[in-house]
Amino acid sequence: MGNSFGRIFRISTFGESHGKALGVIIDGCPAGLPIEETFIQNELRRRKPGQSKITTQRKEEDEVEILSGVFDGLSTGTPISMLIRNTDQKSKDYSHIAESYRPSHADYTYAQKYGNRDYRGGGRSSARETAARVAAGAIAKLLLLHHNISIQAYVSQAGEVSLSKSYQELDLSLTESNIIRCPDQEVAERMIAHIDQVRKDRDTIGGIVSCVAKGVPAGLGEPVFDRLHAELGKAMLSINAVKGFEYGSGFKGIEMRGSQHNDAFYLEGDKVRTKTNYSGGIQGGISNGEDIYFNVAFKPVATIMQDQESIDESGNPVTVSGKGRHDPCVVPRAVPIVEAMAALVLADYLLLNRSSKL
């Protein structure tokens, strides 16, 4: 269970890292939406391995095939299914862990939960599953763009190197101009150098992906449990390696006083605005029309190119060696994944909101 996400715009993903294919079904995409395959393919290209020197060198073309739900270039309202065949699996790289538990991976927990597991490349627990999310997220983005909603994520921290500017002080259109996807070129270079050093140390680091959604109309969100930020938080925490989520003023807002933190309403033309936006565009779990922004914390990648002590399925001590081709830091490739999940949440809540009023 647990492989579906969303209520109206609902996706279900399938597939293992080294299985035949990954894929996704979207049930609930409204009919009449123009579906551009090149747009989907481009989003996958932003996520795919081997895209730069600071990502894994694994090669996967991640070509998507649309199997259903689109006719004459338009969504038909029936399930849109998409398939991505796996091509570059080197499953032999994993025979050494068939019976061992890699530290801070899901090997042990899957074995406990299910009894058996597809150990090749982490099987279902691999972040390779997120390719299916990105494909589905691309269609969610198309739906949002139709409603003038845009989403942009970027890397705001990589290990010790962090971006001190807020998103308002940055030109987010520069995000794709460097391989780390940080819109501040100077910081980007320091991040890249840092990751490069970590990679040479055969080690890994974590980071933060920040994300901004603009153009979200007031009214999205379903209190009390399905508050907009609660679902965004769940969406982000469901991404591999994520350890934390905060929106608006987040953890830092704790030390503020209410009198500072409250966002005063005013009228700008005929639009209700707030002077500050510590609320992060969401009040009482419902969007208020201001920018929605949040941070997502990723832990250091668990696969390191070093020997580590562990145990095998029988409890015997073993040494797990670092093999395969892995990312020293996931954040550059996580940017499109964060965007995809945000798009999926917003698309779903946009449709849910159609039933709020008579």
Q: Which of residues 105-134 bind a second copy (CB under 8 A)?
A: 105-106, 108-110, 112-118, 123-125, 129
What is the pattern of x (binds a second copy, CB under 8 A) and - over residues 135-154?
--------x--x--------
What is the pattern of x (binds a second copy, CB under 8 A) and - over residues 197-216?
-x--x-xxxxxx--------
Q: Is 53 annotated as a binding residue?
A: yes
Range in contact with a second copy (rule: CB under 8 A) among 3-11, 37-45, 47-55, 179-187:
3-11
Q: Is 255 exposed, middle or buried (0-12, 13-18, 19+ CB in 10 A)?
A: exposed
| Pair of tokens at residue 162 | 């962090």
By CB under 8 A, residue 167 contacts a second copy: no
Q: What 3-state DSSP class applies to 299?
A: coil
Q: 50: how many CB neighbours lie within 10 A of its CB?
A: 14
Q: Is 166 exposed, middle or buried (0-12, 13-18, 19+ CB in 10 A)?
A: exposed
By CB under 8 A, residue 256 contacts a second copy: yes
Q: Is 314 annotated as a binding residue?
A: no
Query: Residue 275 is which amino acid?
Result: K
Q: Are 181 and 163 in contact (CB under 8 A)?
A: no
Q: Are 125 and 108 in contact (CB under 8 A)?
A: no
Shortest distance in whole angstroms from residue 223 CB to a second copy: 6
| Pair of tokens at residue 286 | 């419902």
Q: What is the CA radius of gyration of the chain?
A: 21
By CB under 8 A, residue 79 contacts a second copy: yes
What is the pattern of x (binds a second copy, CB under 8 A) and - over residues 286-315?
xxxx-------xxxxxxxx-x-xxxx---x
Return the residue of 41, 51, 52, 78 that touches a second copy, per CB under 8 A.
Answer: 78
Q: Is 325 annotated as a binding residue?
A: yes
What is the pattern of x (binds a second copy, CB under 8 A) and - over residues 337-356?
--------------xxxxxx
Which residues, 6 or more positions from 112, have their beta carbon under 8 angstroms from its beta carbon? none
Shortest distance in whole angstroms from residue 42 CB to a second copy: 22
Instruction: Choose between 57 and 73: whose C-beta lies nearer to a second copy.
Output: 73
Q: Is 125 annotated as a binding residue?
A: yes
Handedness of CA 231, 234, 240, 242 (dihedral sign): positive
Shortest distance in whole angstroms from residue 116 CB to a second copy: 5
By CB under 8 A, residue 323 contacts a second copy: no
Which residues, 6 or more positions from 175, have their beta carbon under 8 angstroms from its beta carbon? 152, 153, 154, 181, 182, 183, 335
DSSP string for 135-174 = HHHHHHHHHHHHTT-EEEEEEEEETTEE--S-GGGS-GGG
| Pair of tokens at residue 9 | 């715009």
Crossing angle, helix 331-352 and helix 37-47, to 10 degrees? 140
By CB under 8 A, residue 3 contacts a second copy: yes
Return the residue of 49, 121, 183, 280 that touches a second copy, per CB under 8 A.
Answer: 280
Range in contact with a second copy (rule: CB under 8 A) among 41-49, 54-62, 71-79, 165-173:
71-79
By CB under 8 A, residue 5 contacts a second copy: yes
By CB under 8 A, residue 279 contacts a second copy: yes
Query: Residue 226 is which amino acid?
Result: D
By CB under 8 A, residue 68 contacts a second copy: yes
Query: Residue 293 is which amino acid?
Result: Y
Instruction: Choose between 178 and 288: whose C-beta lies nearer to a second copy.
Output: 288
Q: Are 247 and 282 in contact (CB under 8 A)?
A: yes
Instruction: Choose between 44 and 329: whose C-beta lies nearer to a second copy.
Output: 329
Longest dimension (CA), the chain: 70
Range in contact with a second copy (rule: CB under 8 A) among 44-52, 63-71, 175-183, 185-193:
63-71
Residue ranges of the annotated binding site for FMN are 124-126, 240-241, 284, 299-303, 325
Residue ranges of the annotated binding site for NADP(+) are 47, 53
Residue ranges of the annotated binding site are 47, 53, 124-126, 240-241, 284, 299-303, 325
